[in-house]
Structure 1
Amino acid sequence: MKPLSEMTEREYFASVGQRPGMFVGKTSFHVLTAFLIGYDQHALRHGGHGLTGWHDWLVARRGRDCSHAWPGQVLHIALPDSWDDIWNLPPEDEQNAIKVLFELLDEFTAEREAAQGAQFSD
């Protein structure tokens, strides 16, 4: 495995998704979204892209907006039949939401990397 300092954001998010407990302890959708919000804020404070554009990308991916922040947008995609209590997801919904979160992050970062690569090749 590459050292963290040499990973792209996409590689880093993939490593978190493969072993989330190693990064956050108790693996839950909400703990992972809090971790990613912290990652985003740190990246932005230090000149990185963080998750800039992530919410808008999720809205476009879903095809509609609502009043939820990006974690709610992910849940709408992962659990399209809705959920009763956002803070108390059944274990199978929790696992699916985490799986979908990292699948979406991979798609988002792949598109962003491709767009950045296209900018540098022009």
Structure 2
Amino acid sequence: MTEREYFASVGRRPGMFVGKTSFHMLTAFLTGYDQHALRHGGPGLTGWHDWLVARRGRDCNHAWPGQVLHIALPNGWDDFWDLPPEDEQHAIKVLFELLDEFAAEREAAQDCRPQIE
């Protein structure tokens, strides 16, 4: 299973991976995934934050979860830790759409690299 396929499976059934489905639980899960991958030689989410900043077109001091919220909720939010249910669901949807785009671009870049034998 590729990372892209894995992210898609988490996005289809997030509650199976984090229990109570919430934006914050999913970002914590993905941060854990990233750290595990890096510890074991995988790429994890390397480049994800920079990709989000480039996608958004401007930088701020938010970590990647804040960058995702800026993209998902361009009009802002009142309380980062207590999003209204409709905003939370939209942010989760956008999170997995962005992850899919990021993973697809990374896969395409890897496919273009010359193979060393």
* Bin for the TM-score computed over the shorter chain: over 0.9
Among 90, 97, 100, which residue is 1:96 paired with?
A: 90
Question: Corresponding residue for 2:64?
Answer: 70
Partner Cα separation in structure 2 for residue 69 and residue 27 of structure 1 = 20
Cα distance per residue 1:59-116 (max 9 Å; x no partner): 0000001010000000000000000000000000000000000000000000000000
Gaps of 5+ in 1: 1-6
Among 102, 106, 111, which residue is 1:117 paired with?
A: 111
Within the alignment, does 1:22 sit opposite 2:1 as a pair? Answer: no
Secondary structure in structure 2 of the residue aligned to 1:120: coil
Among 17, 41, 44, which residue is 2:38 paired with?
A: 44
Partner Cα separation in structure 2 for residue 120 and residue 18 of structure 1 = 33
Shift of 1:37: 0.1
Question: Corresponding residue for 1:3?
Answer: none
Among 10, 15, 26, which residue is 2:4 paired with?
A: 10
Question: Corresponding residue for 2:48?
Answer: 54
Question: Corresponding residue for 2:102?
Answer: 108
Partner Cα separation in structure 2 for residue 106 and residue 10 of structure 1 = 6
1:24 is matched by which residue type in structure 2? V
Gaps of 5+ in 2: none
Shift of 1:58: 0.1
**Runs of 4+ in structure 1 displaced over 2 angstroms?**
none
Shift of 1:121: 6.0
